[in-house]
Amino acid sequence: MRLFLAKGYGATSIADILAETKINSGSLYHAFPGKQDLLLAVLDAYRTGIGPMLLAPAWEGVDDPVERVFALLGAYRRALAMTDCTYGCPIGSLALELHEPDPPVRAALAANFAVWADAVETCLAAAGIADSRAVAEFTLVTMEGGVMLARTHRDIAFFDRAVAQLRIHVDQVRGE
């Protein structure tokens, strides 16, 4: 996970993985016949870990369902701020790197995005927001786009402006 996030999938070599894990190549290839198999396992770990690794910490002590959505975005903001805007969403970064030639990876990336959007949709639906799926997907687009622009410009204001516009939209569809 760490190597793919730090270097990207394409730039991470098997030698990098072996050095990082301190295992021999026979053991690696026994568990993962190819590099794609390792990536798919990493994506599965992200997908199954989204609740405990991302959502639970972000939502701790936040009861209002809409504020949970913004607390989640706040977690991304903190990651950006702590890294001087070098942080990137692991799934978003991989999605930008990997595309059409790799259908199994694309499907795993889509499954990760779906779990994230499902969690946000649940919050929005609990708040009575109409078309909560579309707003959840808009939230995902806002987060990924805001992270990408903040990273590109090394300026968190891009993320903040995107989230502020999302807040205006959510308040409007909520009738506030």
Q: Please report whether residue 13 resides in a domain.
A: no
* CATH for 73: 1.10.357.10
- Please measure the distance between the N-terminal and C-terminal CA atoms of the chain and give it in whole angstroms: 41
Domain count, the chain: 1
State residue 99's pLDDT score: 63
Q: Please report whether residue 11 resides in a domain.
A: no
For the segment 3-21, the average pLDDT, to the nearest whole number, is 86
- Reported as a pLDDT band with limits 50, 70 and 90, residue 69 is very high
Q: Please report whether residue 53 resides in a domain.
A: yes
Domain hosting 70: range is 39-174
State residue 86's pLDDT score: 92
Q: Please report whether residue 149 resides in a domain.
A: yes
Predicted confidence (pLDDT) per residue in 75-119, tens digit: 999 999 999 999 988 888 888 887 667 889 999 999 999 999 999
Q: Please report whether residue 28 resides in a domain.
A: no
On average, the pLDDT of the chain sits at 92
Question: To the nearest 10°, the Cα dihedral for 142, 147, 148, 154?
Answer: 140
For the segment 59-81, the average pLDDT, to the nearest whole number, is 97
Q: Please report whether residue 64 resides in a domain.
A: yes
Q: List the beta strands (DSSP E) in the chain.
A: none
Which residue's entry shows tokens 């595309």? 99
